[in-house]
Amino acid sequence: MLFKYCPLIFLFNRYVAGGIDMLFFNHGFNFLNDELNCTAVEKFNTSTRWIKQKIDNFNTKDGRVWKMRYFERLSFYKPNGPIYLFLGGEDEVCPLWAAKGIMYELAKETNGAMYVSEHRYYGKSIPLNGTDAEAFKYLSARQALADNANLLKTIKSKSQYKKSKVVVIGGSYPGNLAAWMRLLYPNLVDAALASSAPVLAKMDFYEYLEKVNDNYEQYGTKNCLATIRKIFKRYEKLMQSREGIEELKREENICEKCDMTLAENQHTFFMSKAYVFKNNSQNGRIEHIKNHCERLLNSSKTETTGENCTCYGLDAMNGLSVNDKNNTWNLPWTYQTCNEFGYFQTTSSYEQPFKNYIPLEFYIRICQKLFGPEFDEERVNKGVAEVNNLYGGLNPNVTNVVFSNGDLDPWSTLSILKDLTHNAPAVVIPRSSHCRDLLSNEPDDIEELRDARKYIKKIIKKWIGVTVW
């Protein structure tokens, strides 16, 4: 039996890891947790800790506090060894970062202590309940940076850490946080690794799909990009008539009650169809792109990205809860994109094959629907400008920060790809994707990725005064 779905604001039961918001914003932190298989987590001598944080770190008159979760592992620590802090981001934090990956290897090689922090409003670290703009008033990168600074000060207050150097590590949005920790707290943080960090906030992030286009052109099979354009052009043509819409519904198993003449439904349909291309570029390898192209050449349409989904319109956003386990919309991250970063992956550029059916206006409507009419284009753009002014965009005034990116990753177009200075180098890893350098070496990893990890560890050791051999 074929299940019917409607490409509106719906729940992906199988294909979109991390939830419906992944369809719209394609953030990366939850994919990192998936790589570690955090659903099958074991303790690995990692202890769960809690620390009281202020709800508002910048208001001395506000005495309200909440509990922030973090993890500690001291298996390799020796007196005066470095402190490594892996920064959490837009998902529940995974303690396995203290058991695998580049932080684990650095700690093992330098007798370091490992900590993993959870970002406010994610996982179990919830300052305030609620899902509206007022509840999220204290959700921002600046507040999260202050939380982590307070955590580090608390850790450093222990006698065994008085002489310990501090290294912060993050990937994707937490990669931003890693660089910005070094920027705002240079007396507390000695070095940072900012992996796949889109440090430039941008409302209309059309470069994302341009990079997807380039990847399929460079690494796909012959005529692959032309085939993609043909498929999406056909989708566009079918949308133009009632007969075409009915044909599309039959082909894609779209439920009858979905009105595909509505612009919002068409936008979400094109988003769902572009998702697999985005995911192969952001989180895959070149063989995934090539294999996908081979399948496309033998088909007249793209792969379906959802099934057995309930048919909802934008009204389904009403009443969503940040703590509702049955809700796959990541409301805190959506708020951060609407309030600080933008990152709206639009089709406003002609240098992509998905037609112009994912406009900026649709993202703005989502922001307004979820958080209020004041979240219009002007408000979003103001937030983006404030972030870039505060942290420096693509020219942050930092030292002892290494910026790493895979050249497949569409997020790299908002990251630092050239050395800022000798002490703020950029590492671009050929044929590699989002945050791959944060993981440990695997047998099928390409040599360039292995070399990048080796170089990153070497330069961090140099910055914290550990003998490099």
**What are the structural domain ranges in the chain?**
20-27+203-387, 30-195+394-463
pLDDT at residue 416 above 70? yes
Q: Which residue has the higher pLDDT, 152 or 17?
A: 152
Dihedral-angle region of residue 308 (phi above 0 means left; psi in -120 to 50 means alpha; beta otherwise) = left
**Distances in Å between the alpha carbon of 213 and those of 231, 277, 300, 374?**
14, 9, 19, 34
Which range has the worst mean pLDDT, 11-15, 57-61, 342-346, 351-355? 11-15
Question: Which one-letter DSSP state was computed for residue 88?
Answer: P
pLDDT at 127 over 60: yes
Amino acid identity of 59? N
What would the pLDDT profile of 89-126 be if each residue is shown by its tens digit? Answer: 999 998 999 999 999 999 999 999 999 999 999 999 99
Least confidently predicted of 38-42, 125-129, 331-335, 384-388 = 38-42
Query: Of 10-24, 62-76, 272-286, 337-351, where does mean pLDDT reach its minimum?
Result: 10-24
Distance CA 200, CA 208 (A): 13
Confidence of residue 305 (pLDDT cuts 50, 70, 90): very low
Q: Is this model's pTM higher than 0.75 or not?
A: yes
Give the separation between CA 398 and CA 468, rounded to whole angstroms.
Answer: 23
Domain covering 30-195+394-463 assigned CATH 3.40.50.1820 in the classification: yes
pLDDT at 64 (0 to 100)? 96
Strands 113-117 and 65-73: antiparallel
Q: Which amino acid is at 76?
A: F
pLDDT at 22: 54
Band of the pLDDT at 18, cuts 50, 70, 90?
very low
Residue-by-residue DSSP string for 202-231: EEE-THHHHHHHHHHHHHSPTTHHHHHHHH
Determine the 3-state secondary structure of 196 from DSSP. coil
CA separation for the pair 188, 156 (Å, rounded):
9
Burial group, residue 255, by CB count within 10 angstroms (0-12, 13-18, 19+): middle
Confidence of residue 456 (pLDDT cuts 50, 70, 90): very high
Residues 6 or more apart in contact with residue 351 via CB below 8 angstroms: 210, 213
Of 141-150, 252-261, 285-294, the least confident: 252-261
Count, in order, helices (H) and strands (E) of the chain: 14, 10
Q: What is the pLDDT of residue 42?
A: 61
The Cα 68–Cα 328 span in angstroms is 22
pLDDT surpassing 70 at residue 165: yes
Q: In the numeric block, which tokens belong to residue 306?
A: 């959802």
- pLDDT attached to residue 428: 98
Examine the pLDDT at 131 and tell me if it is beyond 50. yes
pLDDT > 70 in the chain, percent: 84
**Amino acid at residue number 155:** I
Give the C-alpha distances (Å, rounded to integers) separating 77 from 72, 94, 466: 11, 20, 14
* Contact predicate 88/95, CB 8 Å: no
* Residue 378 pLDDT greater than 60, yes or no: yes
Q: Is the dihedral of CA 168, 165, 388, 353 positive or negative?
A: negative
pLDDT tens column, 188-229: 999 999 999 999 999 999 999 999 999 999 999 999 999 999
Residue 408 pLDDT level (bands cut at 50, 70, 90): very high
The pLDDT score that the predictor gives to residue 306 is: 46
Q: What is the dihedral of CA 160, 164, 170, 174, to 10 degrees?
A: 70
Confidence grade of residue 43 (pLDDT, cut at 50, 70, 90)? low
- For residues 168 and 19, which has the higher predicted lDDT (pLDDT)? 168
Q: How many CA atoms lie within 13 A of 170 on its CB side?
A: 31
